[in-house]
Structure 1
Amino acid sequence: MKEEIDELLQAVKASPENTYIRLLLIRKIKDNKEYTELLSGQLNELLKHDPNNKEAKNLLAQHYYATNKLSACIILCEELQDKGQLSPKSKLVLAKAYFSEKDMAKAKEIYEEVLDYDPDLFDDELDDAFRMKLDYLEDEYTDSHFLQKPKMGFADVGGMAKVKKEIDLKIIKPLEHKELYAQYGKKVGGGLLLYGPPGCGKTFIAKATAGEIDANFINVSLNDILDMFIGNSEKNLHDIFEIARAHTPCVMFIDEIDALGAKRSDLRQSAGKNIINQFLAELDGLEANNDGILIIGATNTPWHLDSAFRRPGRFDRIIFVPPPDDESKIEILKLKLKEKPVEKIDYKAVIKHTKDYSGADIDAMIDIAIESKLEKAMETGIPEPISTKDLVAAAKNHKPSTVDWFTTAKNYALFANQSGLYNDILKYLK
């Protein structure tokens, strides 16, 4: 390549007014950082001889951006745009230059025009800022970004018998008997709200539900929905629901749902209220067809959730997910230790020291036990299996994470429980 460039340079020197040869040289060096200074000189020299050369002007605008001459880039791009000569690549550069200059409105407008013309010209930085990927990327990419097909099922979930039974009645049985449900005008799917202390397996059971029925699974995070620009959050939420509707049966899991469905009376800004209204419309609006979709919401703070979400037809099944009981803890321990080097474990002896433990606390206890084994193995060079004694020692060192949650929840259960929503908390505390 260097030989070709040297030959073109000699040809340009021999015939400085030959714009075609100079353009060949420019095309050869435009993407090579080693020739940045040469590129600048050659572009300006070409434009002296051919001031209306559209290709050279577009390449010069792109060169200005690459060398951080943002003002010059914007001026030249705007000039080309007014003449209808701005190439799609230069238009993307103009959007990026506006973005660098903090002119977000113009950057977003130009970027939308670029993607309308050619979706392959998307830019990661601008997508992160404006969250437009969902609109413009091909359906196949969008779907694969959100959709999963879990291989796990209820057998992989320790305990949680009540939750499994509710889900079985709500989604699995209807799918097995679609025709029977249809005769009664009953739709398959609906909303299920899981609440309880953190770390008790709400996310895990949602994923296992999808695996149990061989359904698609969408794990919706706040980052997938919330947007700094007005109207985009509602649009993102609608688009995700549309993906679910196009891929039934589908389990959609929304963690920390209280962040999206907070009490509207607590919100000062109208933008937050608009998201909640959009959410409610997606759940059971006139145009919402959620047949075959199970929407599972999870929250650690159900008292912050707008009461409209608990209306029949929305999240009408509300299930308390408590910390695991002793039998469930043994199941969880067995599952967690399944692939690890262990001696014969006295599970009953271990769980005596796990009062108020959540599933996440059991994970933490096992990690502590493993870390102590790793320390010894690094000293002796001999790995040893985990023993009952190791797990008991780890349990004594780890404090349960659910205690603070129950302190708060007890106040709501005692003094703000007119609807009986928190009766399960009171039963558990007894």
Structure 2
Amino acid sequence: MENTGLPAVVRSLLAAVEDRPDDVALRVHVAGLLVTLGDPAAALAHCAAALERDPGNAEALTVLSKATNQLRGAPAEGAPSQFDWSAAENEMAAIVQPALVEDPAPHPDDDTVEPPGLTLSDVGGLEEVKRRLDAAFLVPMRNPEMRRLYGRSLPGGLLLYGPPGCGKSFLARAIAGELGARFFTVSLSDILDVWVGSSERNLHEMFEIARRNAPCVLFFDEIDALGQKRVHLRTSTAMRGTVNQLLTELDSVKSANDGVFVLGATNHPWDVDTALLRPGRFDRLLLVAPPDGPARDAILRYHLRDRPLEGIEIAKLVQRSEHFSGADLAHLCDTAAEHAMLESVRTQQARPIRMTDFDQAFGEVKPSIGPWLQDARNVVMFADAAGKFDDLLAYLRQRGMA
């Protein structure tokens, strides 16, 4: 098909491609139009040029597939009657194959492992959480001789759960500090990969990094996304394989690897696969509830420490912020600071943050954990036959919700 027979807008786009040969998005768009107009050979050339510049471009690969399918079928009117398919196939293989085999996702290395830093003394309040954490996890870890004397096995993994924004990740780092261990955090994006088998390989590599850096706390954030119930994954073979690999790695840590301590955090522990919660895996669950009074005091002081203040009564702020999460408290401080800043800009005279700014902030910032508490209530009241969430039930009863 000659360019003169193309619509004017397509001819203009082709001219633009000649002027900007490295514009991948433009090339792919033109290729799509050429496929629609029945010129797959020309579309193929533009796809090749696009993939040379951006290997793995998903849209280019899609248009390429349409063009090749069209070429394999009957030629469109005006398209070349003879097409050397084998030559084109060989030419495209050199361009497309690297995009198909290359795994573009970067893999974490040992440099991403953090040295010991925080300890539980840096965590304000939450004394009951600290006490239970010490008894269930830290004491056996710190005292191997006593553990052997009393026949106490090494604990499996510890799962921290609770509403979002309440400091589960901060607490995990403090646990690593208490153990004098390095800290290595893993998220869903570090594991999942579009390539078959790569997610399992990535997960194995995370454990290998932790083993090389032992003693090390391997922390899985939002583990309900990575280790969700397999009954919900019937149509996702890849995700089922990832859950199975996680189970295998946890068993390996239990039986053959010293100095790797596995922690997980989740807002929805009831969505975690039950096999992950059996003894030897994530067999200890610890509720990290919204911060209590001393914790709110510490959090407020932390977020106000470097800001100009006048007449701020922390005790009153603590009293008014019951049921606020740590994230809510940070937002409260930011909002109060914003009101002070806006007035300073308006009057062209800087002033400190005052209680009146917090009065306005309390009118705008409300506790964010309400929906989570309602979901949690439904689970513990109607779906917790095994009693895994008794501490959550006790917390809800304190609030008069159960």
Q: Aligned partners of 2:94 and 2:321: how far apart in 1?
A: 54
* Partner of residue 244 from structure 1, selected from 195, 210, 235: 210
Is the aligned partner of 1:127 residue 2:93?
no
SS at match of 1:218: strand
Q: Deviations over 1:94-146 (max 9, x none)?
A: xxx97995x35x5454x5xxxxxxxxxxxxxx533xx5x46xxxxxxx200x2
* Matched-pair contact (CA < 8 Å) for 2:117–2:177: yes
Amino acid at match of 1:127: P
Amino acid at match of 1:222: L
* Matched-pair contact (CA < 8 Å) for 1:365–1:398: yes
Q: Deviations over 1:5-26 (max 9, x none)?
A: xxxxxxxxxxxxxxxxxxxxxx
Name 1:210's counterpart in structure 2: 176
Q: Aligned partners of 1:358 and 1:294: how far apart in 2?
A: 27
Distance 1:98 1:363, change over 3 A: farther
Is the aligned partner of 1:376 residue 2:353?
no
* Partner of residue 124 from structure 2, selected from 131, 153, 158: 158
SS at match of 2:217: strand
Q: Aligned partners of 1:258 and 1:98: how far apart in 2?
A: 41
* Partner of residue 223 from structure 1, selected from 175, 186, 189: 189
Q: Deviations over 1:201-242 (max 9, x none)?
A: 111111122233332101101111101111110111011101
SS at match of 1:341: coil
Name 2:334's counterpart in structure 1: 367
Give, in angstroms, the shift of residue 163 of structure 1.
2.6
* Matched-pair contact (CA < 8 Å) for 1:159–1:332: no
Give, in angstroms, the shift of residue 335 of structure 1.
2.4
SS at match of 2:104: helix
Is the aligned partner of 1:195 residue 2:172?
no
Q: Aligned partners of 2:348 and 2:94: how far apart in 1?
A: 54
Name 2:384's counterpart in structure 1: 417
Distance 1:303 1:100, change over 3 A: farther
Structure number with bigger Rg: 1
* Partner of residue 178 from structure 1, selected from 144, 147, 153: 144
Amino acid at match of 2:319: K
SS at match of 1:164: helix
With 305-314 and 171-180 compared, the bigger mean Cα shift is at: 171-180
Q: TM-score, normalised by structure 1?
A: 0.66
Q: Aligned partners of 1:150 and 1:408: how far apart in 2?
A: 35
Q: Aligned partners of 1:280 and 1:69: how far apart in 2?
A: 39
Q: Aligned partners of 1:259 and 1:342: how far apart in 2?
A: 41
Is the aligned partner of 1:395 residue 2:370?
no
**Aligned alpha-carbon RMSD (Å):** 3.1
* Matched-pair contact (CA < 8 Å) for 1:227–1:233: yes
Amino acid at match of 1:143: D
5 Å-filtered alignment, 1:4-19, equals none
5 Å-filtered alignment, 1:26-425, equals 70=52, 103=96, 106-109=98-101, 127-128=104-105, 131=106, 133=107, 142-144=109-111, 146-182=112-148, 186=152, 188=154, 190-267=156-233, 268-285=235-252, 289-425=256-392
SS at match of 2:195: coil
Q: Aligned partners of 2:393 and 2:248: how far apart in 1?
A: 33
Distance 1:384 1:242, change over 3 A: same
Percent of aligned pairs with the same residue?
A: 41
Name 2:81's counterpart in structure 1: none
Distance 1:280 1:390, change over 3 A: same
Distance 1:100 1:380, change over 3 A: farther
What is the number of equivalent residue pairs in this alignment?
316
Amino acid at match of 2:146: L
Q: Aligned partners of 2:346 and 2:195: how far apart in 1?
A: 55
Name 1:93's counterpart in structure 2: none
Give, in angstroms, the shift of residue 388 of structure 1.
2.8
With 187-196 and 251-260 compared, the bigger mean Cα shift is at: 187-196
Q: Aligned partners of 1:171 and 1:247: how far apart in 2?
A: 20
Distance 1:185 1:345, change over 3 A: same
Give, in angstroms, the shift of residue 283 of structure 1.
0.6
Q: Aligned partners of 1:159 and 1:99: how far apart in 2?
A: 62
Give, in angstroms, the shift of residue 344 of structure 1.
4.3
Give, in angstroms, the shift of residue 287 of structure 1.
8.7
Amino acid at match of 1:373: A
